[in-house]
Structure 1
Amino acid sequence: MSKINVRRLFKEDINMFLPLVQELMEYRVEESLLKERFADMFEHRYQCYGIYKDDELAGVFGLWFAIRHYAGKTCEVDHVFIKAEHRGKGLGKQVFKWIYTYAREQGCETSELNSYVHNFPSHKFYLNEDYVIKGYHFLKKL
């Protein structure tokens, strides 16, 4: 298993990480709208990180920081995506180890995330990481 390097990305790096986020998404959103949304996200407790293996961008993920009445200070992991050719090689475990360490350094008590219902490989991974399914995420288009 080769070691990864996690590097923070900024809104100026959007053209580098956006294609990876788009691969993860279950429905198509216009690129200009996604860029607008990410610009806003960067202004609201959101951080983006690249997963690098041998100086190649192998994946991406985001982190949100909040305080929730049911979880205390929490780090919500968002849009975790690892390119197909890098999956199954231990990168995910390394990434989440990095996330847990970083979140604790930020004073977080918990970590939470959402996963698409049809993304069964991620469910298995998150359950193996000791995440517990606490409810359903509902979304309504307005």
Structure 2
Amino acid sequence: MSIRFQILPKEEILSVVPLVEKLNEHKISAETLNERFLIMVEEDYECAVIYDDDKLIGVTGLWYCTRHYAGYTMEVDHVYIDDGYRGQGLGKRFFEWIHEYAKEKGCQTVELNTYVQNYPSHKFYYNEGYEILGYHFLKKL
């Protein structure tokens, strides 16, 4: 096993759709995800990935902005690691890499959202030093 973390080149963005589709339990079609990712890579967004040799096994989005309460921040979005690679400390290593990358980008903070029902992720994020700051609300228009 040869694990590596990297920022995915923009032209390869659609390679993450199958993993993100699993994360969303197929609630969002691959077609819609394709359309949205093609727009996202043209905004303040990057995609960090995990490879095992040439196999894509993990993904997260990275958004950047300045917030009045947090300064220049990286928001980690849609974290997914393939089932067969969980429980091996890979998430911890991935977040260590993400935190170092955020510092290199000049970020003062890192934020994230996680689904309410994703209890294992809550424990993981607490263990990584994250605190609950508020609730994330969504209204579809």
**How high is the TM-score relative to the length of structure 2?**
0.93
How far apart in 1 are the matches of 2:41 and 2:3? Answer: 24
| Identical positions, percent | 56
Q: Where do 1:122-141 residues align within 5 Å?
A: 122-141=121-140
Q: Does 1:6 align with 2:5?
A: yes
Counterpart residue type for residue 68 of structure 2: H
Unaligned 5+ segments in structure 1 are none
| Matched positions, count | 141
Deviation at 1:35, TM superposition (A): 1.2
For 1:81-120, what aligned pairs fall within 5 Å after superposition? 81-120=80-119
Distance between the aligned counterparts of 1:18 and 1:117, measured in 2?
22
CA separation of 1:15/1:46 partners in 2, compared to 1, >3 Å: closer, same or farther? closer
Q: Secondary structure at the match of 2:65?
A: strand
How far is 1:7 from its partner? 2.3
1:30 aligned residue: 29
The alignment's C-alpha RMSD in Å is: 1.5
The match for 1:69 is 68
Aligned 8 A contact 2:18 2:30 in 1: no
- What is the CA-CA distance between 1:96 and the residue it aligns to? 0.4
Instruction: Give per-residue Cα distances to partners, 1:47-104, cap 9 Å, x unaligned.
Output: 0122012332111111011100110000100111000000000100110000010100
Structure 1 length as normaliser, TM-score?
Answer: 0.92
- Partner residue, 1:49: 48
Quote the residue 2:78 is aligned against: 79
Asked if 1 retains the 8 angstrom alpha-carbon contact of 2:64 and 2:72, the reply is: yes
Q: SS where residue 57 of structure 1 aligns?
A: strand
Asked if the contact 1:71–1:110 (Cα under 8 Å) also holds between the matched residues in 2, the reply is: yes
Say whether the 8 Å CA contact 2:19–2:58 is kept in structure 1. Answer: yes
Range moving further from structure 2, 88-97 or 20-29: 20-29
The whole-number CA distance in structure 1 between the counterparts of 2:111 and 2:6 is 21
State the AA in 1 paired with 2:15.
Answer: M
- Structure 1 residues 110-142: Cα deviation after superposition (integer angstroms, max 9, x where no partner): 000000000001000000000000111001111
Indicate conservation of the 8 Å contact 1:11/1:38, yes or no: no
* 1:29-61: CA deviation from partner (whole Å, max 9, x where unpaired): 222221111111111110012201233211111
Query: Structure 1 residues 3, 79: closer, same or farther in 2, change over 3 A?
Result: same
Change (3 A) 1:50 1:108: same
